[in-house]
Amino acid sequence: MDSLINTDKDEFYPSLSKNGNLYFTRDNGSTKDDIFFSRWNDGKYERPFPLPDSVNSKGYDFNALIDPDENFIIFSSYKRADDLGGGDLYYSLNRNGSWLPAVHFGKEINSSSLDYSPFITSDRRYFFFTSKRQLVKFPFAEPKTADQIRAALGSYGNGNDDIYIVNLKTIGNIMK
């Protein structure tokens, strides 16, 4: 990628549509992350620009997953009014080339910790994401042995970036 995409800022979490259009996160001033779009045209990328305010917010918007057909985008956002605390997952639908206002996935997916890095399987059956949610409660209510503490710290829900899987049928069909 040339300097049109790569700049002196951080560019990360690229996602490609079937036609080669590129979506990625970039610092957009005041250390605020936004989701950018660059059209693949005639064998090269065009100048990227941030997605509209229906997707990008005044907070941090990052880690976008674009549907291969560009019908929807799933991403993380932090500091929105409906954010549960540490950064939540949202989606926006593309209708006739316009991005609709972002929708919060709700408490069924999001937690009070950072929820990020969305991924959908190619058969569109499963949704994966990473979460720093802490289901293990510290300090322990009762004394524990060293082995019990190691087991708790090594389990999911320990606040250390676990990957979660959800059947897409249980959260509705956003691919329509």
What's the total number of domains in the chain?
A: 1
In a domain, 1, yes or no: no
Over the stretch 94-149, which tens digit does the pLDDT of each residue have?
999 999 999 999 998 999 999 999 999 988 899 999 999 877 777 878 888 888 88
Beta strands in the chain (DSSP E): 11-16, 22-27, 33-38, 40-41, 44-45, 49-50, 60-66, 72-78, 88-95, 98-99, 103-104, 115-120, 126-131, 162-167
Could you give the percent of the chain with pLDDT greater than 90?
64
In a domain, 2, yes or no: no
Residue-number span of the structural domain to which 113 is assigned: 11-171
Residue 47 predicted with pLDDT over 60: yes
Cross-strand partners of 75 = 90
Tell me what pLDDT residue 8 has: 87
In a domain, 142, yes or no: yes
Tell me what pLDDT residue 171 has: 74
In a domain, 4, yes or no: no
Q: Which amino acid is at 105?
A: F
Q: What is the DSSP letter of 170?
A: G
Q: Is the pTM of this model over 0.85?
A: yes
Opening angle at CA 77, ends 168 and 88, nearest 5: 50
Q: What is the DSSP letter of 24?
A: E
Number of residues that this document lists for the chain = 176
In a domain, 6, yes or no: no
Average pLDDT, the chain: 89
Which tokens hold the place of 157?
């829900």
